[in-house]
Amino acid sequence: MAREKVTIPYLFQKKARGEKITMLTCYDYPTALLEEKAGVDIILVGDSLAMTVLGYDSTLPATMDVMVVHAQAVRRGAPGAFLIGDMPYMSYQVSKEEAIRNAGRFMAEAGCDAVKLEGGRNVAEVVEALTRATIPVMGHLGLTPQSIAQLGGFKAQGRDVETALRVVEDAKILEQAGAFAILLEAVPPEVGRIVTERASIPIIGIGAGPHCDGQLLIVHDMLGFFEAFTPKFVKKYADLNGVILKAFREYMDDVAAGRFPAPEHCYTMKPGEAARLESLVREGEKR
Ligand code: KIV
């Protein structure tokens, strides 16, 4: 039986009841089917797909066209999850008009329920404009991967009072601008707690400690399916790399040794047809 659609009021109810919200990234249909079956609350089609799926060394090369195609595939597999399209680099920074047009594509073309964008006070006007245009926005503070050039790499944020206070203030600014939720990435648990306690919107953490209203992990990280690097905050729940590599090697060994394909992998001819075929071919060869 299909589950009830996850909505913004439901996410607020979970926060109010102190029930943790679960969130995972997803980029494809088969994984979406499984996340839906598991009952994950929020699915993020993250621009991290530029790294985890497309092999780039940052998220910057993700484009709107690519993001929309992946979001469509995920929506087909997960009709009940709250689906968020991640606004890629330069899809919302140039102007509010362009931000609305691009965010609108996630909603209209991929059936997303909301979009996510990175930044605090610097994007408050964009958050306001999108919200006014009926597009729910999740903010993203702390480590914001689209700013790695400014941050000097994928580094934890808010580890001293000045930068931590800026995160706390930015969270308030985003909430006032109309964000329905905020993702907090790679900050100490103290910062996660202070932001969460003071927010009336759900705060989802990825490397922001246990006090947030919910948790996000990148699906390739938690499944052990991405080897380039593993952030400190990742817990690996599976070793897909190991499982898949073993399967590839066994397949190659089987082919080399003639064990694959076995009779059960072969089609059979209709009764009597094999012998008839042999004799017809032989007769033809004699002529
Ligand atoms: O793109 C993504 O998956 C994200 C996470 C890193 C938070 O934004």
Please write the tens of the pLDDT for every residue from 154-194. 999 999 999 999 999 999 999 999 999 999 999 999 999 99
The Å distance, Cα 153 to ligand 1 centre, comes to 15
* pLDDT of 51 over the 90 cut: yes
Helices (H) and strands (E) in the chain, counts: 12, 8
Same structural domain for residues 229 and 247?
no
Burial of 95 (0-12, 13-18, 19+ CB in 10 A): exposed
User: Any idea what the CATH number is for the domain that residue 137 is in?
Assistant: 3.20.20.60
Closest residue CA from atom 6 of ligand 1: 48
264 carries an active-site annotation: no
How many angstroms separate the Cα of 94 from the Cα of each of 91, 98, 225?
7, 7, 34
Determine contact, residues 205/184, Cβ cutoff 8 Å: yes
The Å distance, Cα 129 to ligand 1 centre, comes to 22
Which is the closest atom of ligand 1 to the Cα of 216? 7
Q: Which of 36, 128, 185, 264 is catalytic?
A: 185
User: What is the per-residue pLDDT for 199?
Assistant: 98
What residue ranges in the chain does DSSP mark as E strands?
21-25, 42-45, 82-86, 114-116, 137-142, 181-185, 203-206, 214-217
Name residue 248's amino acid: F
Q: What is the tens place of the pLDDT at every residue in 186-241?
A: 999 999 999 999 999 999 999 999 999 999 999 999 999 998 888 999 999 999 99
Same structural domain for residues 63 and 43?
yes
Same structural domain for residues 51 and 81?
yes
Closest residue CA from atom 3 of ligand 1: 46
The Å distance, Cα 46 to ligand 1 centre, comes to 5
Cα radius of gyration (the chain):
24
Q: What is the tens place of the pLDDT at every residue in 83-118?
A: 999 999 999 999 999 999 999 999 999 999 999 999
Last residue of a domain, one of 202, 217, 238: 238
The residue range of the domain holding 55 is 8-238
Closest residue CA from atom 4 of ligand 1: 46
* pLDDT of 1 over the 80 cut: no
Same structural domain for residues 230 and 252?
no
Same structural domain for residues 249 and 164?
no
- Give the whole-angstrom CA distance, residue 249 versus residue 226: 19
Same structural domain for residues 195 and 218?
yes
> Residue 52 domain-assigned?
yes
| Backbone torsion region of residue 18, taken as left when φ is above 0, otherwise alpha when ψ lies between -120 and 50, otherwise beta | left
How many C-beta atoms lie closer than 10 Å to residue 61's C-beta?
A: 15
> Residue 228 domain-assigned?
yes
Same structural domain for residues 117 and 252?
no
The Å distance, Cα 195 to ligand 1 centre, comes to 19
Which is the closest atom of ligand 1 to the Cα of 218? 3
* pLDDT of 68 over the 90 cut: yes
Spacing of C-alpha 191 from chain mean position: 24
Spacing of C-alpha 93 from chain mean position: 21
User: What is the per-residue pLDDT for 246?
Assistant: 98
The pairing of beta strand 82-86 with beta strand 137-142:
unpaired
Positive or negative, the CA dihedral 106, 108, 120, 175 is negative
Burial of 128 (0-12, 13-18, 19+ CB in 10 A): middle
Total tally of structural domains belonging to the chain: 2
Name all residues whose Cβ lies below 6 A of ligand 1: 25, 44, 46-48, 59, 86, 145, 183, 185, 206, 216, 218
